[in-house]
Structure 1
Amino acid sequence: MMIDLPLGAVFQFLSIVAVGCYVQTVTGFALGLTVMGGVALLGVVPLNVATAAVTLVSLVNTSFALKNNAGNIAFRYLIIVVGMSLPFTWLGVWLLHYWQGAGQLMLARRLLGGVIAICAILFMLRPSAKPTPSSNSSFFVAGALAGFLGGMYATSGPPIVFHFYRQPWLREVIRDTLLAAFFLIATFRVIIAYTQDAVPIEAVGMAVYAVPVVLLFTWFAKRMPPKVSDATLRRFVFAVLIFTGVALLV
């Protein structure tokens, strides 16, 4: 598939995807946030193109993952989170599209920087499970934040990952419910973006190229994880994300 972007930009984007995928595989941290931070910091491709491409890649990844991991979904909480995410996904897509058209992408960059910095701090906090499930209202808030971040930056993960890991659920329930939420929010984003004419053709081509890169580096990370302690790895990722977030803010 032909892409109307410089070959160097495509190579840089795929390189960032490879790094983000490796980091996510060994740490569990969001691929979307890592990729979007790198893209925005380096100015590799327009934010709207990167966001659409990452959403399509996430859709493919989660659909494959759900084939073997869909038996332990907490449907009640999934419905709350995904249902609340819908209007905020629309808001995120609309706002990014509006800022793109109004030439205000610097605002989008700075907001992304703030989001990355906050998520880096959450990454260092290890949420402990509560003895009882949180209130429905807390799931509404998590769903709203996930929808907005998913709509703006294809990074719906951090709010619901942090919140789900505070629930007294089995790991399998957390995993399957997260996968289902990611899949549905990504699906909604693609549909909403399509209706707003906000899916650049370049994003489709880049997603096609990115999928094999994601599969390859997921396999590579599982076979050859870094030979450092988990604490050291988390501190390194934290430092990189904080640097990225601050650099986007200034």
Structure 2
Amino acid sequence: MIPALSDLVPFVLVVLFAVYFHTVTGFGLAMIIMGLASATGMVSVATLASIVSIVTLMNSGVALRGRLHHVPWKAVNPMLIAVFPASVLGVVALDYLSSEAADVIQVLLGLVIAYGGLSLAWQPRPLSLISGSGSFACFGFLGGLVGGMFGIPGPPMIFQLYRQPLTLAQIRTALIFLNAAIAGARTLFVAIQGQLHMQELVLSAICLPLVALATLAGKHYPPPFSPQAMRRIAFILLVLMGLTLIAPVVLQWM
């Protein structure tokens, strides 16, 4: 069922904002769409997840065009290798954990992410030397594990990349590329399973032309913030991501 126009317009506006923000920072698309759009109850979370994956692929295709030379492959390749098996492990681990154990892990994870963002938000200086391949693989694995268990693969990879002595262009393209790889794998898996329905396809088709425009706007008209300010924004959003993991569990316990 396709939502009414009165529901569709706010949804499209949320997608446009999320895509623009994602283009200028390299992350945030899934968090914003899932957070704002799911609160309206317009479509199911599963439908939103499929739309996010398709929109991410469109955004990434436009955002990365002519900019793949910015991707720091030394950092991205180890993360890419680690993130896929870790995602599967995360899904399997969650299936075997009791609901109570999963809740405790989710709260602990949220606290770690929030602390990492808070501790660096006011001192967003990058490291003096770029980390080794093992470090990138470790954070890629954590990102995949978090994504598999809780559907938020970004925080560990955001934390790792934004503290590196890399340019903002390198950080953005690395995160966009990693998100595209994960979204592509998820979309392919869902399609093979026969779970990609007409509602997802129609809503995605409605959004895609506007996604291209929002992506081009982000590429050519980014906000006038300094690199230090952008790093600070990234770490503050890590705090918010951590809180979004903690809050549902705490409310459930109350």
Amino acid at match of 1:35: I
How far apart are the structure 1 equivalents of 2:166 and 2:155? Answer: 18
Secondary structure at 2:69's aligned position in 1?
A: coil
How far apart are the structure 1 equivalents of 2:92 and 2:7? Answer: 25
CA contact (8 A) 2:51 2:204 kept: yes
Counterpart residue number, 2:15: 17
Counterpart residue number, 1:160: 157
Counterpart residue number, 1:65: 63
Q: CA RMSD in A?
A: 4.2
Q: 1:80 offset after TM fit, Å? A: 0.9
Q: 1:244 offset after TM fit, Å? A: 5.9
Q: Structure 1: give runs of 5+ residues left out of the alignment.
A: 99-103
CA contact (8 A) 1:150 1:185 kept: no
Counterpart residue number, 1:196: 193
Residues 1:92 and 1:46: Cα distance change in structure 2 (over 3 Å): farther
Counterpart residue number, 2:43: 45
Q: 1:190 offset after TM fit, Å? A: 1.6
Total equivalences in the alignment: 234
How far apart are the structure 2 equivalents of 1:170 and 1:94? Answer: 36
Residues 1:27 and 1:242: Cα distance change in structure 2 (over 3 Å): same
* Structure 1 residue 76 corresponds to structure 2 residue 78: no
How far apart are the structure 1 equivalents of 2:111 and 2:50? Answer: 18
Counterpart residue number, 1:30: 28
How far apart are the structure 1 equivalents of 2:82 and 2:92? Answer: 17
CA contact (8 A) 2:58 2:211 kept: no
Residues 1:137 and 1:224: Cα distance change in structure 2 (over 3 Å): closer
How far apart are the structure 2 equivalents of 1:130 and 1:14? Answer: 38
* Structure 1 residue 174 corresponds to structure 2 residue 171: yes
Q: 1:238 offset after TM fit, Å? A: 8.5
* Structure 1 residue 136 corresponds to structure 2 residue 133: yes
Secondary structure at 2:68's aligned position in 1?
A: coil
Q: Which of 117, 121, 124 is matched with 1:122 structurally?
A: 117
Residues 1:244 and 1:171: Cα distance change in structure 2 (over 3 Å): closer
Residues 1:94 and 1:189: Cα distance change in structure 2 (over 3 Å): farther
Counterpart residue number, 1:101: none
CA contact (8 A) 1:14 1:210 kept: yes
Q: 1:166 offset after TM fit, Å? A: 1.7
- Once the two structures are overlaid, the 10-residue window that deviates more, 27-36 or 60-69, is 27-36
Secondary structure at 1:68's aligned position in 2?
A: coil
How far apart are the structure 2 equivalents of 1:152 and 1:198? Answer: 20
Residues 1:56 and 1:239: Cα distance change in structure 2 (over 3 Å): same
Counterpart residue number, 1:87: 85
Q: 1:133 offset after TM fit, Å? A: 2.3
How far apart are the structure 2 equivalents of 1:208 and 1:119? Answer: 35
Secondary structure at 2:61's aligned position in 1?
A: helix
Give the TM-score normalised by the residue count of structure 1: 0.69
Residues 1:45 and 1:59: Cα distance change in structure 2 (over 3 Å): same
Amino acid at match of 2:171: I
Q: Structure 2: give runs of 5+ residues left out of the alignment.
A: none
Give the TM-score normalised by the residue count of structure 2: 0.69
Residues 1:209 and 1:46: Cα distance change in structure 2 (over 3 Å): same
- Once the two structures are overlaid, the 10-residue window that deviates more, 187-196 or 63-72, is 187-196
